[in-house]
Structures are given as C-alpha cells and as structure tokens.
C-alpha cells in the first residue's frame, strides 16, 4: 500500500534538487506529515486518495483557508536551513498559519512558539501539533504587537511578506545576542527577498538571500 511517507520521500528529493542541502532539514521534511496541516486534503489523504497525497506533497504552496497558504516545501526547507537552528534553541515563528513550519522546527529539537493572527488557524494548528505529540506553544495574536517579554529567542522566522521596518521591529523586540532571524522582506512587484539578520556582540549583521513570494504580514487579529 502506498502511504504518505512514499510521497514525502519524493517531495524531499525535489527539495534537494531545488538546492536545499542540509541533511537534517531534509530528513525532518520527510518525517513531518504535511497533509495533516492542509484542512481540505487531510481527510482524503488519510483515506489513501493518491491524487490528494500527490497534491499535498507537491513542491508548491497550497491554500489552507482564510486567504492563507501552507508554504512550498522548498521554501520551508530553505528558511530552516538559513536559520541554522542548533537544538536546544528557542525559536519564534511570526505568522505560523497551519503550523507546518513550527512542526519542522519542533522535529529538529527546537522549543517553538508560533504566533498566528487568525484564531481558527491558531486552533487548527494546536490540534494538529498536539496530535503529533509536539509541544509547540501557539499564541493567537498580532506578531508585530506582542509584548517583548516573550523573548529573547535564539531564532526567529517570519512566514509572511513584511516591510524592512517590520522585520527590524520584530528582531529588536524578540531577538537577543546570538539571535538569527530570517524574514521575507518586500522588494516590489509582489515579491520578497529573504533577509537574514544576526546579532553578535551587540552588532547586527545582515545578508540578502533568495527571492520568494509569501502572503502579506497583516496587523490586528481575527476571531
């Protein structure tokens, strides 16, 4: 019988061919059941629908409702690779959506806090992550307006297209010495480029990485 792991294995090979090289990241991508995080596909995939499984483990973003998407596996792998988490570390994800990126980080041994502005998505992700036995803290809130007492974090992932100002604000509020953040920053034309910020000895270093496309980072909360 073909099971989801067969499709996940093929997905990982595509991610590898697309440039993600970190062996631990690739291993974890093959172990996290992506289909569980996609509301419309979870049931059909659990029933063994091969078409649904093929879709769930394709290397592309997919809608999860509320105008949001689950990110392309290659992009999740690349963001995780750039973050370079070395467990045990404490990681914040802003715009955690369905919880897939949180699951990948948790599977790598990180202590993860996710922030999601849409209550139904926050509740959904808690359910899925809990069902997988992952102790991830999901907060329903606006990632740009949370109190800084949540931090400091060793790593930060922003999973929505944001302004440079927002990226620096989140980094300043929740980062500390040794913290690294990866964030897709708007560069025009509906595109973003991944910005990596790192604090070392009180100085911030930056580098620009891949072009990408994420849903926008919005303020406020829903639900």
Residue 223 domain-assigned? Answer: no
Q: How high is the pLDDT of residue 83?
A: 95
Residue 136 domain-assigned? Answer: yes
Coil, strand or helix: which one is 64? strand
Catalytically active residues are: 71
Question: Which residues are within 8 A (CB) of 147 and not within 5 positions of it... i.e. 6 or more apart?
Answer: none
Number of domains in the chain: 1
Q: From 90, 85, 93, select the one nearest 217 (Cα to Cα).
A: 93
Peptide bond preceding 108: is omega within 30 degrees of 0, i.e. cis?
no
CB atoms within 10 A of CB 130: 13
Instruction: Give yes or no for a contact between 185 and 195, defined as CB atoms under 8 angstroms apart.
Output: yes
Q: Which residues constitute the domain of residue 75?
A: 4-212
Residues facing 185 on adjacent strands: 162, 193
CATH number at residue 98: 3.40.50.150
Q: From 36, 220, 13, select the one nearest 116 (Cα to Cα).
A: 220
Peptide bond preceding 199: is omega within 30 degrees of 0, i.e. cis?
no
Residue 219 domain-assigned? Answer: no
Tens-place pLDDT, residues 136-155:
999 999 988 887 678 899 99
What is each CA distance from 7 to 10, 18, 81, 83, 191, in whole angstroms?
5, 17, 22, 26, 29
Q: How high is the pLDDT of residue 148?
A: 67
Residue 204 domain-assigned? Answer: yes
Residue 203 has pLDDT above 60, yes or no: yes
> Cβ-count burial of 166 within 10 angstroms (0-12 exposed, 13-18 middle, 19+ buried)?
buried
Residue 80 domain-assigned? Answer: yes
Residue 76 domain-assigned? Answer: yes
Side-chain half-sphere CA neighbours of 130 within 13 A: 8
Tens-place pLDDT, residues 59-106:
999 999 999 999 999 999 999 999 987 877 999 999 999 999 999 999
Across all residues in the chain, what is the average pLDDT?
94
Residues facing 181 on adjacent strands: 156, 197
Residue 221 domain-assigned? Answer: no
pTM of the predicted protein model: 0.95
Residue 39 domain-assigned? Answer: yes
CA 92, 93, 99, 104: dihedral to nearest 10 degrees? -70
Sign of CA dihedral 12, 13, 16, 18: negative
């Amino acid at each position: 019988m073909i099971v989801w792991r067969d499709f996940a294995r093929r997905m990982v090979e595509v991610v590898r061919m697309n440039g993600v090289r970190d062996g631990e990241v690739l291993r974890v991508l093959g172990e996290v059941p992506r289909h569980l995080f996609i509301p419309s596909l979870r049931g059909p995939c659990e029933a063994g629908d091969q078409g649904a499984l093929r879709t769930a483990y394709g290397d592309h973003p997919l809608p999860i409702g509320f105008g949001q998407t689950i990110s392309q596996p290659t992009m999740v792998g690349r963001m995780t690779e750039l973050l370079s988490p070395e467990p045990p570390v404490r990681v914040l994800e802003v715009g955690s959506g369905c919880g897939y990126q949180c699951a990948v980080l948790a599977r790598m041994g990180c202590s993860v806090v996710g922030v999601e502005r849409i209550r139904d998505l926050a509740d959904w992700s808690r359910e899925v992550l809990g069902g997988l036995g992952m102790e991830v803290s999901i907060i329903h809130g606006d990632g740009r307006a949370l109190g800084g007492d949540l931090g400091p974090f060793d790593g930060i992932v922003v999973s929505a297209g944001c302004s440079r100002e927002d990226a620096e604000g989140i980094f300043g509020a929740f980062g500390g010495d040794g913290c690294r953040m990866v964030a897709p920053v708007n560069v025009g034309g509906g595109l973003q480029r991944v910005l990596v910020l790192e604090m070392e000895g009180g100085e911030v270093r930056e580098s620009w990485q891949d072009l990408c496309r994420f849903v926008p980072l919005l303020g406020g909360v829903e639900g």
